[in-house]
Structure 1
Amino acid sequence: MLIDEMRKDLSIKGRNGISFLLSASIIWLIITIIFMQSIEIAQKNIWMLFSTGLMFPLSVGVSYILKADWKFETNALGSLALYLNLAQIIYFPILFWSMLKSPHDAIMIFAIITGAHLFTYGWLYYAKPYYIAAPIIAVGMMFLGLYTTTDNLWLIPFSMVGLLFMLSMALNMSYRKLVKRI
């Protein structure tokens, strides 16, 4: 029972991780703009990777605005959030392979990795929307990638913006319900 209380505490203090998702939405919007440019796909992929460097500073800023505590020094599960996020990096060799061997698929693979890694946050933040959104994003991005032409690759990051924003709204509703119950 103690772990459930820790998870609820993490959910409330961290606002279900919404600040990170809103930051990710901004980054995916930047990636959308990159993929709308008429530059070579290799350059688009490099700029896509560079844009992810904005994640931490944006998350700090959005967390400040939302008054979300993501440091979690008082909750032992707090460091688990960091490990779950770092686990995403383990899949980056697949992304790097695609950038070299199938550069047009790199954006799809990055979107799949991003979506799939969200699944474990459902348990951590005591929030069902993560359980629903992660497979929808991962499978949806795969199908979108299969049917998107080279000229329309921007549809993949644009769709990610919309899906992450919808997930943020669902998590905000989940957060409000949890706060109301407690």
Structure 2
Amino acid sequence: MNLKDLKKDCAQKQKKGIHFIIASVVIWIMVLIVQLTDLPILTKNLLTFCCTAPLLPIAFLISKILKIQFQDKSNPLNNLGILFSVNQMIYLLIAMWIYPTLPDKMLMVIAMIFGAHLLPYSWLYNSKTYMVLSIIIPILSLIVGLNFANYTLAIMMIVIEIIFSVLLSFENKKIVNDYVQ
């Protein structure tokens, strides 16, 4: 297979990672619940980090429900997708630094990192949705994070992730329709 075919195969079998985006809706709902509490900000930040931990198991469960192949060892580009995800862990060091330094802005930084880390998937999946939202999410996160309460930022992320999921589902239908024709 050439590179174009490998990318198309990856996008089809992984359904453009929609299971991870849907899982992130769940994660952001949990973050919203934490942000709505009266706990001290450092406790909220710690719990926010904890809320991100179950992303992989939730995505795995959603992949089973949606019948998405979670892992495909036959396509080497899937390893690249994993590398794109692991790359986000390095950026989380920035959020860890923000945690005690500017605790009120940690959630904003996490949202910005989350959005920005999606950019390489626009190439992997040939996805305009990933391209546009990987730029919009950090910018909106910065604006909302600087001007509104953290729970507003969490609500914004939930709404964006739902829109993201819907747009990816349209892209996935287009792949199937293009494949059938």
Find 1:161's aligned residue among 142, 158, 162.
158
Alignment-derived partner of residue 69 in structure 2: 69
Alignment of 1:81-160 (within 5 A): 81-148=81-148, 152-160=149-157
Tell me how far apart the structure 2 counterparts of residues 46 and 85 of structure 1 sit (CA, whole Å).
21
Task: Report the TM-score when normalising by structure 2.
Answer: 0.96
1:12 equivalenced with 2:9 (yes/no): no
Fraction of identical pairs, as percent: 28
Task: Report the TM-score when normalising by structure 1.
Answer: 0.96
Alignment-derived partner of residue 38 in structure 1: 38
Tell me how far apart the structure 2 counterparts of residues 165 and 2 of structure 1 sit (CA, whole Å).
33
Q: Displacement of 1:126 after TM fit?
A: 1.9
Tell me how far apart the structure 1 counterparts of residues 64 and 38 of structure 2 sit (CA, whole Å).
36
Q: Displacement of 1:146 after TM fit?
A: 1.2
Tell me how far apart the structure 2 counterparts of residues 141 and 125 of structure 1 sit (CA, whole Å).
24
Tell me how far apart the structure 2 counterparts of residues 122 and 37 of structure 1 sit (CA, whole Å).
36
Tell me how far apart the structure 1 counterparts of residues 92 and 102 of structure 2 sit (CA, whole Å).
14
Q: Displacement of 1:127 after TM fit?
A: 1.4
Q: Displacement of 1:178 after TM fit?
A: 1.2
Tell me how far apart the structure 1 counterparts of residues 176 and 2 of structure 2 sit (CA, whole Å).
18
SS of 1:126's partner is: coil
* 5+ long unaligned stretches in structure 1: none
Tell me how far apart the structure 2 counterparts of residues 180 and 126 of structure 1 sit (CA, whole Å).
16
Tell me how far apart the structure 1 counterparts of residues 151 and 174 of structure 2 sit (CA, whole Å).
35
Q: Displacement of 1:70 after TM fit?
A: 2.3
Structure 1 outlier segments of 4+, above 6 Å: none
The CA deviation string for residues 18-67 of structure 1, in whole angstroms up to 9 with x for no partner, is: 00000011001100010000000000000000111111110110000111
Tell me how far apart the structure 1 counterparts of residues 30 and 159 of structure 2 sit (CA, whole Å).
13
Q: Displacement of 1:90 after TM fit?
A: 1.1
The CA deviation string for residues 137-167 of structure 1, in whole angstroms up to 9 with x for no partner, is: 010000001111xxx3111111111101111
SS of 2:70's partner is: coil
- One-letter code aligned to 2:161: L
* 5+ long unaligned stretches in structure 2: none
- One-letter code aligned to 2:67: K
- One-letter code aligned to 1:79: N
